[in-house]
């Protein structure tokens, strides 16, 4: 979250509520779960780290707001973040670990667990597809939702492979 806030400030100094609004616009329906206070906590941490500074700015309605801006260290951090090439390394998923442990201890039928997981992923896939269709074509949120749809489809394909592997095992353990 910190790097995203810094990148948003790279465009122009902003109030916390402006940053929150821009982030929600970029995330579309996925931004609905964004906690409003999270932006302000992040800004406080960034200020303590010397990556942003702030100045008071009245809004004409008697409220004092802070306008945040990047420091040179903050600008440098944005440049470093944008130049990083990173992708999460494959690791055992919680579901895979649950599946293996339940089968090894004979606590549950692995295929039943796979079926329950598949139903949940299909529900999430429908929700993501509906949300993607509701976004304006070419919006950043549409692209984010498309990525979510593709990941869910890949996870469903992986579940098919899991089911195939467990059903070919005679004892399912």
- For residue range 63-112, list pLDDT tens digits in order: 668 899 999 999 999 999 888 877 666 555 788 888 888 887 888 888 99
Based on the fold, state whether residues 67 and 39 are members of the same structural domain. yes
pLDDT in tens, 132-160: 888 888 888 888 889 989 999 999 999 99
Predicted confidence band of residue 120 (pLDDT cuts 50, 70, 90)? very high
120 HSE (CA, 13 A, CB side): 9
Q: What is the CATH classification number for the domain harbouring 30?
A: 1.10.10.10
Based on the fold, state whether residues 78 and 99 are members of the same structural domain. no
How many structural domains is the chain composed of? 2
Predicted confidence band of residue 53 (pLDDT cuts 50, 70, 90)? very high
Task: Classify residue 26: in a domain, yes or no.
Answer: yes
Domain that holds residue 100: 94-168
Cβ neighbours, 10 Å, residue 103? 19
Based on the fold, state whether residues 100 and 74 are members of the same structural domain. no
Q: What share of the chain is helix, strand, coil (3-state, %, to 5)?
A: 70, 10, 25
Residue scoring higher pLDDT (56 or 59): 56
Per-residue confidence (pLDDT) for residue 172, from 0 to 100 = 47
Average pLDDT over residues 156-169: 89
Based on the fold, state whether residues 8 and 74 are members of the same structural domain. yes
Distance CA 5, CA 37 (A): 13
Task: Classify residue 173: in a domain, yes or no.
Answer: no
Per-residue confidence (pLDDT) for residue 100, from 0 to 100 = 82
Based on the fold, state whether residues 116 and 77 are members of the same structural domain. no
Distance CA 157, CA 2 (A): 34
pLDDT > 90 fraction of the chain, expressed in percent and rounded: 39
């Amino acid at each position: 979250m910190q790097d995203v806030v810094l990148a948003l400030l790279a465009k122009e100094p902003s109030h916390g509520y402006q940053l929150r609004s821009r982030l929600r616009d970029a995330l579309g329906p996925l931004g609905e779960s964004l906690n409003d206070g999270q932006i302000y906590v992040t800004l406080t941490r960034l200020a303590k780290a010397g990556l942003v500074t702030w100045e008071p700015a009245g809004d004409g309605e008697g409220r004092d707001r802070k306008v945040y801006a990047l420091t040179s260290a903050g600008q440098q951090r944005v440049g470093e973040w944008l130049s990083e090439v990173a992708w999460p390394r494959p690791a055992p998923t919680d579901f895979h670990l649950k599946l293996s442990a339940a089968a090894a201890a004979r606590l549950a039928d692995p295929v039943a667990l796979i079926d329950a997981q598949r139903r949940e992923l299909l529900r999430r896939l429908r929700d993501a597809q509906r949300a993607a269709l509701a976004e304006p074509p070419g919006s950043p949120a549409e692209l984010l939702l498309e990525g979510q749809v593709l990941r869910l489809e890949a996870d469903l394909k992986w579940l098919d492979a899991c089911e195939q592997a467990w059903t070919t095992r005679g004892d399912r353990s």
